[in-house]
């Protein structure tokens, strides 16, 4: 096997090659580290990376294989971890000077699950400040003069640049889907409560959701299959049968899917080429797509999302506000100040709208397999002072629906232009199956 491009293998192919003895975990780690040395001075995707520690993990995994121990589903696969997710052997600094040098006592639940599956924890990827809007140091791998998006900027960029095949991020508004769209990779935010969040920086219990970045749908399914589960320390998870993500995502749909397209209440924010690209995509899909109207309640979703997010952020970051607000960015100070003024009645009313919104989508999902919508207003904006507009993700995050960015199109400037598929709550694996059909259908048309 040609070892010069091992870093570009998919996670699934890496794991298969290690299980078959074609390559070693050390070879994979060395290939990914070589890619980091080649490109990360420009991309700057990593908040913390210790090459010697990466290789030590890989050597242990190779020793286990030599002694006849069974290989896990991710045995030897390097994975990037957003720097708001606790790692017992690496700092977790949450993108803020207020948490500089912080060393967690134990792994977050998802990190424990990845280690149990045999993954090599490559390092900590850059997050924006406390996973909000103030950018970190990461550049877009396709053009360093453009934003990679946020808040999971380093995770998306590391996967897009070939430094790791898989990375973990989080989304409270648009922090998985938008950077995936800007960086041109698959980014999947599962149903709220599917992936446990114990050991992850809490911004908003109602809205925080973990997600996966990858370069193939198979890898998204592989990653989610390891991460979905129950944890009594996360009250929004619940015991459930294991979801067979890989098996379902690889199946052909029993019937050709029907996709719903809606010009959402933020359609006016879409750039002209985004509107034109989606018009062409709908034409290519022909009778596989129907135009729909969203429930009337959806028009106020952005206001309800902001009320919930800022009120819960104010509670979550109260200590940072009291002891270090002068070290926070202006945008975060403004968010926290607004959150501290949210009234209890307004907050409770906003929370009560979430199940009503989901019920309102019931009729759409009874007819259609998924909703087709832009992942962002357009391609990644020029400059690094902003992470872009998350508005095209807000409704789906508020509803806790599974959402996936598909890197299917490019703008006139050559940068990726994302397509977002949204499914009904709990339909995660079926959404990946629909996405696989869509990618194949577009490629054949």
- Catalytic-labelled residue, pool 82, 134, 152, 155: 82
CATH code, domain carrying 69: 3.90.1300.10
Is 175 annotated in the active site?
Answer: yes
- Catalytic-labelled residue, pool 152, 175, 204, 427: 175
- Catalytic-labelled residue, pool 10, 24, 151, 316: 151
Exposed e or buried b for every residue in 335-360, given b needs 16+ CB within 10 A?
Answer: bbeebeebeeeebeebeebbeebbeb
Question: Running along the chain, 445 residues long, what does each successive block of 10 average in pLDDT?
Answer: 86 97 97 98 98 98 94 97 98 98 98 98 98 98 98 99 98 98 98 98 98 98 98 97 94 96 96 98 97 95 98 98 97 98 98 97 97 98 98 98 98 98 98 98 90
**Residue 55 placed within a domain:** yes
**Residue 158 placed within a domain:** yes
**Residue 318 placed within a domain:** no
pTM beyond 0.95: the answer is yes
Peptide linkage before 151 cis (omega within 30 of 0):
yes
Structurally, how many domains does the chain consist of? Answer: 1
Domain that holds residue 115: 12-248
**Residue 284 placed within a domain:** no
Instruction: Answer for the pair 146, 153: CB distance below 8 angstroms, yes or no.
Output: no
**Residue 182 placed within a domain:** yes
Is 250 annotated in the active site?
Answer: no
> Using CA atoms in the order 194, 168, 257, 376, what is the torsion angle rounded to 10 degrees?
120
Is 82 annotated in the active site?
Answer: yes
**Residue 436 placed within a domain:** no
**Residue 429 placed within a domain:** no
**Burial zone of 288 (CB within 10 Å; 0-12 exposed, 13-18 middle, 19+ buried):** middle
**Residue 421 placed within a domain:** no
């Amino acid at each position: 096997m040609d070892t010069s491009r091992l870093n570009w293998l998919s996670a699934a192919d890496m794991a298969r090659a290690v299980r078959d003895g074609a390559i070693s975990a050390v070879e994979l780690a060395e290939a990914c580290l070589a890619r980091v040395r080649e490109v990360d001075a420009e991309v700057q995707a990593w908040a913390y990376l210790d090459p010697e520690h990466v290789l030590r993990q890989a050597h242990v995994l190779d020793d286990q294989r030599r002694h006849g121990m069974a290989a896990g589903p991710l045995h030897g696969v390097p994975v990037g971890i957003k720097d708001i997710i606790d790692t017992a052997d690496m700092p977790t600094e949450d993108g803020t000077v207020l948490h500089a040098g912080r060393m967690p006592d134990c792994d977050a639940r998802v990190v424990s699950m990845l280690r149990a599956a045999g993954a090599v924890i490559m390092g900590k990827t850059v997050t924006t400040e406390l996973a909000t809007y103030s950018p970190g140091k990461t550049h877009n791998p396709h053009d360093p003069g453009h934003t990679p998006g946020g808040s999971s900027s380093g995770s998306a960029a590391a996967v897009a640049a070939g430094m790791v095949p898989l990375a973990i991020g989080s989304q409270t508004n648009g922090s998985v889907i938008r950077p995936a769209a800007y960086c041109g990779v698959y980014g999947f935010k599962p149903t709220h409560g599917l992936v446990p969040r114990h050991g992850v920086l809490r911004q908003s219990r109602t809205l925080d959701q973990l997600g996966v970045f990858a370069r193939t749908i198979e890898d998204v399914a592989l990653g989610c299959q390891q991460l979905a589960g129950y944890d009594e320390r996360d009250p929004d998870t619940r015991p459930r049968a294991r979801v067979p993500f890989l098996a379902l995502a690889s199946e052909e749909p029993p019937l050709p899917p029907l996709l719903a397209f809606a010009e959402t209440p933020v359609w006016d924010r879409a750039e002209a080429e985004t509107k034109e690209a989606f018009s062409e995509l709908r034409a290519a899909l022909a009778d596989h797509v129907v135009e729909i109207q969203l429930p009337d309640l959806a028009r106020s979703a952005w206001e309800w999302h902001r009320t919930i997010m800022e009120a819960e952020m104010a509670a979550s970051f109260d200590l940072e506000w009291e002891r270090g607000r002068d070290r926070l960015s202006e945008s975060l100070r403004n968010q926290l100040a607004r959150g501290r003024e949210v009234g209890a009645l307004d907050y409770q009313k906003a929370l009560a709208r979430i199940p009503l919104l989901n019920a309102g989508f019931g009729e759409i999902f009874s007819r259609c397999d998924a909703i087709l919508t832009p992942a962002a207003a357009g391609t990644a904006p020029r400059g690094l002072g902003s992470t872009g507009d998350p508005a095209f993700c807000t409704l789906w995050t508020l509803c806790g629906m599974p959402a996936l960015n598909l890197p299917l199109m490019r703008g006139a400037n050559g940068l990726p232009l994302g397509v977002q598929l949204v499914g009904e709550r709990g339909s995660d694996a079926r959404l990946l199956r629909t996405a696989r059909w869509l990618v194949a259908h577009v490629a054949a048309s």
